[in-house]
């Protein structure tokens, strides 16, 4: 199965090679370091945790923080970390470099402060503009409103539904309401009634909008002045952007080189914490895929100049404290289906990878429920277009592509094309005209996949425990498999054997009880009953295959009926054609999504639950581009 075989690497070399070795291992991205404190050598006291110079760590963190701030002030992104190891020895910065960094930092800080001030001013003035624009078309001067001696006014928004209540509440209070636009209005009253009016406004959810005090004249003139200010600020921001770009261009090489150096030093410090030491030697442990062993050996020999000792331990012989990660190595065709498996969980290192199985079952279930040549062809074209136009979602569109091909295949089997079932003759049956066959076919498919699930469970138990107790008496072992087969057999033997066939599940039920009686006798008694209910519910769940295949036909029939009704109206044939096209669009988008979810559910909850745990963890190699070592 496509899960990479893992080996545990134990390596020891002289402490003088420590930094160079760790930097080299980081660059090849082939090893996941184990915390040395979890290894037997550390627990037995043969190794100590590797010490890190606190002063160096603080210095690296400080320079890294300063560089991040500089990049932010200069509106630039830190560059990606190069794979080639940078020097992790000696001083991080020379006195000249430190002086240059400080000068850049001061200038970048001035640029950043200036940009922040300009942006805040622009946002503030834009709010002034929005307020003044609400007054456009009104013959009033802003400063006149501020000079009222005896009148109180308020400007703001009242929800339309609250207007009747506002008018009723103000009946006994002298006032004037001046609508401005939409829900914006002025309310004028006597200053002595200010508190009473504001209490009423609060009850109707009035949102007060303050008018800008720094502008004078009519709203149209004030708006023009504000727009002019915004343009001046935009010009200042553009000029600042040009200056910043020129400044960064002149110092870009220095900043990027320093960033590489600091990030590699930072990585070196972090990974050293995973290593162990003696007085003169350092030791490390890590997981390496079989395909990367030679690369890692070469890296160790080069970094340590051939002066290193290392050993390889196969995962199944490694200490139990060190749990191997999982590296899934499916080919490009299966990669999109690997993402579906990961929704359930990552397989353990010694588990069976169910990706090849779901690559068959998922499109098969989808096509069974969504069998249509025309609609499948549309999905195929959309998936191909999506792969070309949106490369970041290539995996999703690849899934749709395989599902669409399955849909086309079942469309030929059903004789369906764009919802019409009378154009082509079905090869096997039409769900609409043979509901009985559709339902029983879905049940038969469910039984088949459940049998495959039990068979995979047996294989998984054998790989993990051999022909042991769990394999023979387990609920999902041989006993559970025989119990399931006995239940299915009752259906075929009932006519010939009658009630005697009901005795078939008893022996495997006793096997399940024997397997559980020592751990939990009560569970052992009820486990066969639970298995019976689970088996029945699993099989019933697969009926949705036939139900959705039938629903697919019925949904189009509803649109087709509406089309016939429109054909008899003033819209004629155009109305009928429009409804048929609309029906296909709705079915492709809406039902396609629903069927995709149902196919996923059948795989994850009915099929996978029989044999797959998904309790593993992904392989995360030491890399300068990640922070997994933190």
User: Does position 349 have pLDDT exceeding 80, yes or no?
Assistant: yes
Residue 202: is it exposed, middle or buried by C-beta count within 10 angstroms (0-12/13-18/19+)? Answer: exposed
Give 629's pLDDT tier (boundaries 50, 70, 90).
very low
How far is residue 442's CA from residue 620's CA, in Å, rounded to a whole number? 41
8 A C-beta contact, residue 419 and residue 584: yes
pLDDT digits (tens, 9 = 90+) for 523-543: 666 677 777 788 788 888 899
User: Does position 275 have pLDDT exceeding 60, yes or no?
Assistant: yes
Helix (H, G, I), strand (E, B) or coil at 348: coil
Rg (alpha carbons) of the chain, rounded to whole number: 37
pLDDT digits (tens, 9 = 90+) for 502-523: 777 788 777 777 777 666 666 6
8 A C-beta contact, residue 8 and residue 244: no
User: Does position 86 have pLDDT exceeding 60, yes or no?
Assistant: no
Instruction: Name which of 356-365, 430-439, 459-468, 601-610 the model is least confident about.
Output: 459-468
8 A C-beta contact, residue 265 and residue 60: yes
Return the pLDDT at 7.
94
8 A C-beta contact, residue 31 and residue 296: yes
Question: Please, what is the average pLDDT of the chain?
Answer: 83
pLDDT digits (tens, 9 = 90+) for 285-342: 999 999 999 999 999 999 899 999 999 999 888 888 888 999 998 888 898 999 999 9
* 271 Cβ neighbours under 8 A, 6+ residues apart: 22, 25, 26, 33, 622, 629
- Residue 140 tokens read as 């009033």
- Which DSSP string do the residues of 405-462 spell out, in sequence order? HHHHHHHHHHT-BTTBSSSS--SS--TTT-HHHHHHHHHHHHHHHHHHHHHHHHHHHH
User: Does position 21 have pLDDT exceeding 90, yes or no?
Assistant: no
* Backbone angles phi and psi of 154, in degrees to 5: -145, 140
Instruction: Name which of 219-223, 255-259, 392-396 the model is least confident about.
Output: 219-223
**Tally: H helices and E strands in the chain:** 21, 10
Give 207's pLDDT tier (boundaries 50, 70, 90).
confident
Share of the chain above pLDDT 70, in %: 89
- Which DSSP string do the residues of 105-153 spell out, in sequence order? HHHHHHHHHHHHHHHHHHHHHHHHHHHHHTTTT----HHHHHT-SSEEE
> Which residues is 177 bridged to in the sheet?
187
Helix (H, G, I), strand (E, B) or coil at 511: helix
Helix (H, G, I), strand (E, B) or coil at 222: helix
Q: Does domain 136-210 have CATH number 3.30.200.20?
A: no
Instruction: Name which of 186-200, 350-364, 594-608 the model is least confident about.
Output: 186-200
**Residue 142: which of 65, 225, 204, 253 has the closest Cα?**
225
CB atoms within 10 A of CB 554: 10
* Report for 34-38, 376-380, 498-502, 522-526: range of highest mean pLDDT: 376-380
pLDDT digits (tens, 9 = 90+) for 103-148: 999 999 999 999 998 888 888 777 767 666 655 555 566 566 666 6
8 A C-beta contact, residue 502 and residue 490: yes
**Residue 39: which of 308, 312, 285, 271 has the closest Cα?**
285
User: Does position 566 have pLDDT exceeding 80, yes or no?
Assistant: no
- Residue 126 tokens read as 């834009």
8 A C-beta contact, residue 374 and residue 585: no
8 A C-beta contact, residue 154 and residue 201: yes
Positive or negative torsion for Cα 360, 363, 366, 369: negative
8 A C-beta contact, residue 11 and residue 309: yes
* 267 Cβ neighbours under 8 A, 6+ residues apart: 22, 23, 26, 81, 624, 629
How far is residue 136's CA from residue 180's CA, in Å, rounded to a whole number? 8
DSSP 8-state secondary structure symbol assigned to residue 627:
-
User: Does position 620 have pLDDT exceeding 60, yes or no?
Assistant: yes
Indicate the angle between helix axes 543-567 and 355-369, nearest 10 degrees.
Answer: 30
pLDDT digits (tens, 9 = 90+) for 162-189: 888 888 888 888 888 877 666 677 778 8
Residues forming CATH 3.30.70.2750 domain(s) in the chain: 136-210
């Amino acid at each position: 199965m496509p899960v990479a075989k893992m080996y545990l690497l134990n390596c020891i070399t002289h402490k003088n090679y420590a930094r160079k070795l760790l930097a080299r291992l980081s660059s090849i991205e082939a090893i996941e370091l184990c915390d040395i404190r979890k290894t037997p050598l550390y627990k037995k006291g043969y190794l100590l945790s590797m010490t890190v110079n606190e002063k160096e760590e603080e210095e690296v963190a400080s320079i890294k923080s300063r560089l991040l701030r500089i990049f932010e002030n200069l509106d630039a992104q830190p560059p990606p970390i190069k794979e080639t190891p940078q020097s992790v020895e000696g001083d991080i910065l020379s006195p000249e470099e430190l002086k240059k960094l400080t000068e850049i930092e001061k200038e970048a800080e001035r640029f950043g402060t200036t940009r922040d001030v300009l942006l805040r001013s622009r946002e503030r003035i834009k709010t002034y503009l929005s307020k003044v624009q609400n007054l456009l078309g009104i013959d009033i001067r802003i400063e006149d409103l501020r000079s009222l001696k005896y009148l109180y006014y308020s400007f703001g928004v009242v929800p339309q539904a609250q207007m009747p209540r506002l008018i009723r509440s103000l009946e006994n209070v002298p006032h004037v309401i001046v609508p401005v636009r939409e829900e914006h209005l002025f309310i004028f009253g006597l200053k002595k009634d200010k508190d009473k009016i504001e209490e009423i406004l609060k009850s109707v959810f009035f949102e007060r909008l303050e008018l800008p005090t720094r502008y004078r004249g009519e709203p149209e003139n004030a708006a023009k002045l504000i727009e002019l200010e915004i343009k001046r600020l935009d010009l200042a921001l553009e000029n600042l952007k040009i200056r910043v770009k020129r400044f960064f261009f002149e110092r870009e090489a220095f900043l990027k080189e320093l960033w590489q150096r600091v990030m590699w030093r930072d990585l070196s410090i972090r990974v050293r914490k995973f290593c162990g030491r003696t007085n003169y030697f350092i030791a490390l442990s890590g997981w390496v895929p079989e395909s990367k062993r030679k690369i890692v050996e070469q890296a160790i020999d080069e970094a340590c100049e051939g002066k290193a000792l290392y050993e390889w331990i196969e995962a199944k012989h490694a200490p139990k404290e060190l749990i191997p990660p999982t590296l899934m190595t499916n080919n490009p065709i299966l990669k999109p289906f690997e993402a579906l498996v990961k929704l359930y969980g990552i397989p353990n290192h010694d588990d069976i990878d169910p990706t090849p199985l779901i690559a068959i079952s998922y499109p098969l279930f989808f096509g069974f429920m969504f069998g249509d040549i025309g609609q499948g062809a549309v999905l195929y074209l959309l998936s191909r277009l999506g792969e070309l136009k949106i490369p970041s979602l290539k995996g999703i569109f690849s899934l749709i592509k395989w599902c669409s091909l399955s849909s086309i295949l079942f469309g030929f089997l059903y004789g369906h094309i764009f919802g019409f079932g009378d154009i082509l003759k079905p090869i096997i049956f039409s769900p609409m005209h043979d509901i009985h066959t559709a339902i029983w076919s879905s049940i038969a498919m469910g039984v088949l996949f459940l049998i495959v699930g039990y068979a995979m469970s047996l294989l998984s138990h054998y790989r993990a425990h051999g022909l042991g107790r769990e394999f023979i008496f387990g609920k999902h072992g041989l006993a559970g498999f025989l119990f399931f087969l006995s239940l299915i057999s009752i259906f075929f033997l009932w006519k010939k054997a009658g009630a005697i066939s009901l005795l078939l599940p008893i022996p495997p039920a006793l096997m399940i009880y024997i397997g559980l009686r020592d751990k939990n006798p009560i569970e052992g008694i009820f486990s066969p009953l639970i298995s019976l209910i689970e088996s029945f519910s699993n099989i019933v769940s697969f009926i949705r295959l036939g139900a959705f295949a039938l629903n697919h036909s019925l949904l189009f029939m509803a649109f087709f009926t509406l089309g016939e009704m429109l054909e008899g109206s003033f819209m004629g044939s155009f109305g009928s054609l429009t409804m048929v096209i609309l029906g296909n669009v709705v079915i492709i988008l809406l039902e396609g999504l629903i069927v995709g979810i149902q196919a996923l559910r059948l795989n994850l909850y009915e099929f996978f639950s029989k044999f797959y745990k998904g309790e593993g963890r992904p392989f995360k190699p030491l890399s300068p581009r990640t922070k997994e070592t933190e």
